[in-house]
Structures are given as structure tokens and as C-alpha cells.
């Protein structure tokens, strides 16, 4: 992941469960339609064989297009599956140890909810990026959302790239574009009958 460009880059998050043989061709169409910087395999279950099948299918699609792919939670599997890194859903917990284990080239990202403190801790621990969210209204979690002011402060003061995610809308993408490096988009498009069209509509304010 790179420092903030002139416009935010796109970071796709997979559905929590999918059939790799069905999802991989759909993912390929999405990746071919709009430039994407990174893909996150966000698998809900703990079935090692299912995770490996999903990772194999998605890695091929992503790497063929020179797109990095990280896995959520299952850090031990990242290197074995030939993935580019790990997304930690609990901030900086275990990040320094992972850096030692996976090396300097691995992408290590940390989800920090709405907490500036957690974001700073992750950045100081060596995260390649931190994510805050949800930025939109969501019935999940405790109902808190990451405010525009948090991103504005971060983008002005902190060099570590920041990701905005959670309950995204076209209007929120337009609003947060000046203060974030990446938008992580997942369910917002996968629940649509036409994910390609849904993604293009959402990111139209970015000029993609």
C-alpha cells in the first residue's frame, strides 16, 4: 500500500462466505472494471480447507492482475497460502510479532474501529495501514461511527495510510475522499444483483 495519492484507491473485501468457483469469475469482472489496489479475504468460518480453497482461487485472480491480497485474522495461513499479508480485526494486537514472523515485505493492516488511540498504537507498532469504521450508519456493533474529523486529523498528521470502511454510500465516498487513502468496499456491492454496476456507481465521485 502506498501513501495517499491524488484520489483514494479502492480496497475490496470479499463476502464472509462464498463458493470459490462461482465467486472467482465475478471477482475477476469487478477487478477488470475498476482499478483496485488490494483485496481482503474475509472468511467468516474456521474451516481450514475451505479457507485454503477460497485463498487459492482468489490469489490467482488477484495476482494475475498484480493486486495484493491479504487475509483477515488467519495470520499463520498467510505465508503458507502465498498471500501478501494479514488484516488484523483487533487493532495492533500481535502486530509486532507478526512483523517478525512474516518479514518486512508483508502487508500488515489493523482495523481500529473509531478509536484514534488504537490507530496510533497500530501505526507505532508498524502497521502498513489502519482502517477506521464504520463511517456510515450501521445497526452492527455499538452504533458508533468514525467521524470525518478523525480522518481529517489523521491525513494531516499521520503518514501511515488510512482506510475508510463500513456502511459506505456514494455520498460518504464523496465526502471522505479528501481525507482518506483507501475505501474498503464489500457488502455494499456484493449484495447487489450487479456488483460491477454497483461499484461503478459508488465510486463515480472519485473519477474511476
Task: Return phi, psi of residue 28, to 5°.
Answer: -60, -40
Q: Decide if 168 is inside a domain.
A: yes
Helix crossing, 195-203 with 20-33: angle to 10°?
A: 30
Decide if pLDDT at 119 tops 50: yes
Q: Decide if 82 is inside a domain.
A: yes
Q: Decide if 167 is inside a domain.
A: yes
Task: Return phi, psi of residue 69, to 5°.
Answer: -130, 130
Q: Decide if 105 is inside a domain.
A: yes
Q: Decide if 33 is inside a domain.
A: yes
Cα–Cα distance for residue pair 175/201, rounded to 1 Å: 15
Each residue's pLDDT tens digit, 146-179: 999 999 999 999 999 999 999 999 999 999 999 9
What local confidence, expressed as pLDDT, does residue 49 receive? 96
Q: Decide if 56 is inside a domain.
A: yes
Count the Cβ atoms, other than its own, within 10 Å of residue 206: 17
State the residue range of the domain holding 80: 9-206
Task: Look up residue 30 and give its three cell numbers.
Answer: 469487478
Count the Cβ atoms, other than its own, within 10 Å of residue 185: 24
| Peptide bond connecting 134 to the previous residue in cis, omega within 30 degrees of 0 | yes
The number of folded domains in the chain is 1
CATH of the domain at 78: 3.20.20.70
Q: Strand 68-72 and strand 38-41: pairing? A: parallel
Each residue's pLDDT tens digit, 2-34: 444 579 999 999 999 999 999 999 999 999 999
Q: Are 191 and 161 spatial neighbours (Cβ–Cβ below 8 Å)? A: no
Q: Decide if 58 is inside a domain.
A: yes
Q: Decide if 27 is inside a domain.
A: yes
Q: What is the mean pLDDT of residues 138-147?
A: 81
Amino acid at each position: 500500500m502506498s501513501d495517499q495519492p491524488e484520489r483514494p484507491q479502492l480496497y475490496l473485501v470479499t463476502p464472509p462466505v462464498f463458493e470459490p468457483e462461482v465467486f472467482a469469475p465475478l471477482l475477476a469482472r469487478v477487478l477488470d472494471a475498476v482499478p483496485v489496489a488490494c483485496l481482503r479475504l474475509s472468511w467468516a468460518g474456521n474451516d481450514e480447507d475451505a479457507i485454503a480453497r477460497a485463498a487459492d482461487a482468489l490469489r490467482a485472480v488477484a495476482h494475475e492482475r498484480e493486486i495484493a491480497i491479504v487475509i483477515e485474522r488467519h495470520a499463520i495461513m498467510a505465508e503458507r497460502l502465498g498471500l501478501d499479508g494479514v488484516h488484523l480485526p483487533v487493532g495492533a494486537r500481535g502486530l509486532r510479532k507478526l512483523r517478525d514472523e512474516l518479514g518486512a515485505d508483508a502487508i500488515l493492516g489493523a482495523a481500529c474501529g473509531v478509536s484514534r488511540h488504537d490507530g496510533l498504537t497500530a501505526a507505532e507498532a508498524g502497521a502498513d495501514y489502519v482502517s477506521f469504521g464504520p463511517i456510515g450508519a450501521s445497526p452492527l456493533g455499538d452504533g458508533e461511527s468514525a467521524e470525518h474529523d478523525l480522518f481529517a486529523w489523521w491525513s494531516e498528521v499521520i503518514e501511515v495510510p488510512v482506510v475508510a470502511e463500513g456502511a459506505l454510500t456514494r455520498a460518504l465516498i464523496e465526502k471522505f475522499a479528501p481525507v482518506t487513502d483507501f475505501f474498503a468496499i464489500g457488502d455494499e456491492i456484493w449484495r447487489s444483483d450487479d456488483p460491477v454496476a454497483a461499484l461503478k456507481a459508488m465510486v463515480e465521485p472519485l473519477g474511476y
